[in-house]
Structure 1
Amino acid sequence: MKNKLTILFVVVSLVTWSQTKGKITYKVSIDKSTIEEPYENPENTDARNEALEMLHESQPVESYLVFNDSISLYYVEDNKEVPKFENIDGAISINPTGINFNHGMAGGDRLFYTDWSRNYNISTFEIWGEKKRVKVDSMDWTITNETKEIKGYLCKKAIKDSDEKRVAWFTEDLPVKHGPRGFNGLPGLILEFYNNKHYFVVKEIEFNHPEVKDIIEPKEGPLITKEELRKLAGDPFGKD
C-alpha cells in the first residue's frame, strides 16, 4: 500500500510539474465595435479618418509566452505587411503598406522577460536606434468572484484598473504567475486579457514545448527605469 501511494504521489507530481512549463499562443485583436467608423463624422480631419481606417483594417496577430515555474519570455510573431485594397474608377490595386496596429499593441518587436525567483521583470525597447532594457514594476490586482471556463480551465477575473480598462482571466489550475506582454503576478497563468480595446485570447497551450529549454534573458542595452525612458522618449513612448 505504501509503495502504491508513493507511485501515485510521483505521478501526480510529474503531471503537475509538466503543466508548469510550456508555450502559449495568444490571438491578439482589437475590439472594433468600440472604435468610431472613418468618414462618418464630418468634423474629422483627413489624418483622423486615415488613422481610423487603419485601425479597422488591422488584422489579428499571434503572440507567444514560453514559460516554466519561475521564468517566462513573451514575444510577438514577425510583422507582416497588411494588403491595402484600393478601387480607383473600377480598377483594383493592392498596396502592401497598411499598418497593422495590432502588432504594435501586442508588443511589437519588444521582448518581455520575467524571473520570479528574483522578482525581476523587464521589457526591451529600442529608441533612437539604441536598445534599452526597461525595469517593470510589480502589479497590483483586484481579484473578483467572477469565474468562467477557458480551454477547459476554471478561470477567475482580476482587474488592474478600477474602470476595467485592464482585465485578466487566470487559472489556478496552472499555478504560475505569468501572462502576456508583461502583465502578470496573479496566482495562476493568465489565459485571457483585455487591455484597453485589445484582446489577448489563448489559442493553444503546448506543455513541455522544446522552446522552454531555450529561454534566454535579454542582455543587450543598459537597464533603465520607466521614468528614465520617459525622459528619453516622452510619455507616448514610455507608457505600457
Structure 2
Amino acid sequence: MKLNHILIVCTLLCLRFACAQDFQGIATYQSKTTLDINLEGRRIPEDRKAQIMERMKKGMERTYDLNFDRTASLYTEQQALETPNTDSRGGRFRMMMGGSTGIYYKDIQTKTFKNQQELFGKVFLVVDSLEPWQWKLGSETKKIGNYTAYKATAIKKIDTSSTNQFRRFGPPPPPRDEEKKAQEKDSTGAKTENTLFNRMEQPTEKEIVAWYTPEIPVSTGPGNYWGLPGLILEVHDDKTVILCSKLVLNPTEKSKIEAPKKGKEITQAEYDEIVADKMKEMSERFRGGNRGRQGGFRPRG
C-alpha cells in the first residue's frame, strides 16, 4: 500500500510538471503612441496638414502578438496590408519614430533577450541582458477582459544625450522660412544652434505604469516589459499605451518559441549608436534640401 501511494504521488507530480512545461499562451496587444506636433504657422495647405497628421497617427498604431510559456516569449508585430497610396516614406517615418521591435525574444531564466531588426536592408541581431525593472506593487485593481489586473509602477531614467534624442524622436522638421538662419542669439548674445532639441524640454525620468494579472503566473509582458508576478496586460510608458486585446491560453496549435538567429550580432548600445548616426545623416540631408535622394544603409568603418 505504501509503495502504491508513493507511485501515485510521483505520477501526479510528473503530470503536473508535464502540464507546466506544455503551458503556452498567445496575447495580442494594441500599441498607440501620441505625438505633440504643431504644424500651425507653416506654409502647408490645410488638407495636406490633415494628411500628414493622419499618416503620423497610423504610423504610431501597431498590433503585436506575444507567444509565451513559463520562461520565454516571442514578441512580433503583425504585418498590415499596404494601401495603394502607401509609399516608402511611411516606412522611413516609422523607423524615425522608433521603428518596430522586429522579432523580440525574452528568456526570463537567463535574463537575456535577442532582438532581430532590419535597418535599411541590413539585418542585425541585438543580443543583451534584460533591463531590470524596480517595480513597486500597488493594491489598485481593475478588470481587463475577464482578468483582475493589479497596478505596478516603476521609475525609468531617460538618457538626454543628443544621440539618444535622435533615436527617440527622429530628425527635426525642416525650419520655417523665418527660421532659416542656422543660428540664433540667446539672452547673453552668444549664438546657439536652432535645433528641435534645444527648443524641447527634456525630462530626466518618467513613470512607467503596468497592469498585470496573477491569474496567469508568468513573469513576462509585451516588448521589454517583464518582472512582475503575472502576465502584463497593459502598459503606460510616457506617450505610448500598450493594451492586451485578446488572450488565448493553451491554444490547440502550439508554436515554437525560439530565439531569432539571423543578422549581425551586436549589443543594444552598439545598435542605438548605429540608429543615431543614421538619424543624423537623414536630418542633415533633409536640412540641406536634398529630400529626394534616398540613401541606403552604409556600414561604418
Query: Residues 131 and 224 of structure 2 are in contact (CA less than 8 Å); yes or no, is this contact kept in structure 1?
Result: no
TM alignment of 1:166-177, pairs within 5 A? 166-177=208-219
Moved over 6 A (4+): 100-107
Secondary structure of the residue aligned to 1:161 is strand
User: What is the rounded CA distance, in whole Å, between the counterparts of 2:42 and 2:132 in structure 1?
Assistant: 37
2:22 counterpart of 1:28:
no
Deviation at 1:126, TM superposition (A): 2.1
Secondary structure of the residue aligned to 1:160 is strand
What TM-score do the two structures reach when normalised by structure 1? 0.71
2:151 counterpart of 1:157:
yes
Deviation at 1:205, TM superposition (A): 1.0
User: What's the Cα RMSD here?
Assistant: 4.0
Query: Residues 72 and 106 of structure 2 are in contact (CA less than 8 Å); yes or no, is this contact kept in structure 1?
Result: yes
User: What is the rounded CA distance, in whole Å, between the counterparts of 1:224 and 1:59 in structure 2?
Assistant: 26
1:43-89, Cα deviation, whole Å (9 max, x unpaired): 34659956534223558442100010001100011133256xxxxxx
Deviation at 1:28, TM superposition (A): 2.3
User: What is the rounded CA distance, in whole Å, between the counterparts of 1:180 and 1:192 in structure 2?
Assistant: 9
Secondary structure of the residue aligned to 1:174 is coil
Q: CA 1:169–1:186 in structure 2 vs 1: closer, same or farther (change >3 Å)? A: same
Report the equivalent of 1:140: 133
More strand by share: 1
TM alignment of 1:1-240, pairs within 5 A? 17=20, 20-31=23-34, 35-36=36-37, 39=39, 41=40, 43-44=41-42, 46=44, 49=49, 51-58=52-59, 60-82=61-83, 95-97=85-87, 99=90, 108=100, 110-134=102-126, 135-145=128-138, 146-161=140-155, 164=206, 166-210=208-252, 212-234=254-276
User: What is the rounded CA distance, in whole Å, between the counterparts of 2:253 and 2:43 in structure 1?
Assistant: 47
Query: Residues 82 and 99 of structure 1 are in contact (CA less than 8 Å); yes or no, is this contact kept in structure 2?
Result: no
Query: Residues 23 and 67 of structure 1 are in contact (CA less than 8 Å); yes or no, is this contact kept in structure 2?
Result: yes
Question: Which structure: larger Rg?
Answer: 2
Q: CA 1:58–1:201 in structure 2 vs 1: closer, same or farther (change >3 Å)? A: same
User: What is the rounded CA distance, in whole Å, between the counterparts of 1:68 and 1:100 in structure 2?
Assistant: 32
Moved more, 127-136 or 64-73: 127-136
Runs (5+) with no aligned partner, structure 1: 84-94
User: What is the rounded CA distance, in whole Å, between the counterparts of 2:104 and 2:141 in structure 1?
Assistant: 27
Report the equivalent of 1:87: none
Query: Residues 23 and 212 of structure 1 are in contact (CA less than 8 Å); yes or no, is this contact kept in structure 2?
Result: no
Opposite residue 66 of structure 1, the aligned amino acid is N
What TM-score do the two structures reach when normalised by structure 2? 0.58
Q: CA 1:147–1:70 in structure 2 vs 1: closer, same or farther (change >3 Å)? A: same
| Number of residue equivalences | 218
Moved more, 97-106 or 212-221: 97-106
Deviation at 1:103, TM superposition (A): 7.2
Deviation at 1:168, TM superposition (A): 1.4
User: What is the rounded CA distance, in whole Å, between the counterparts of 1:131 and 1:186 in structure 2?
Assistant: 31
User: What is the rounded CA distance, in whole Å, between the counterparts of 1:140 and 1:228 in structure 2?
Assistant: 22
Q: CA 1:80–1:46 in structure 2 vs 1: closer, same or farther (change >3 Å)? A: farther
Query: Residues 74 and 113 of structure 1 are in contact (CA less than 8 Å); yes or no, is this contact kept in structure 2?
Result: yes
Deviation at 1:217, TM superposition (A): 1.1
Aligned-pair identity in percent equals 25
Query: Residues 20 and 174 of structure 1 are in contact (CA less than 8 Å); yes or no, is this contact kept in structure 2?
Result: no
Deviation at 1:23, TM superposition (A): 0.5
User: What is the rounded CA distance, in whole Å, between the counterparts of 1:189 and 1:107 in structure 2?
Assistant: 25
Secondary structure of the residue aligned to 1:181 is coil
Q: CA 1:18–1:204 in structure 2 vs 1: closer, same or farther (change >3 Å)? A: farther
Report the equivalent of 1:88: none
Deviation at 1:99, TM superposition (A): 3.3
Report the equivalent of 1:91: none
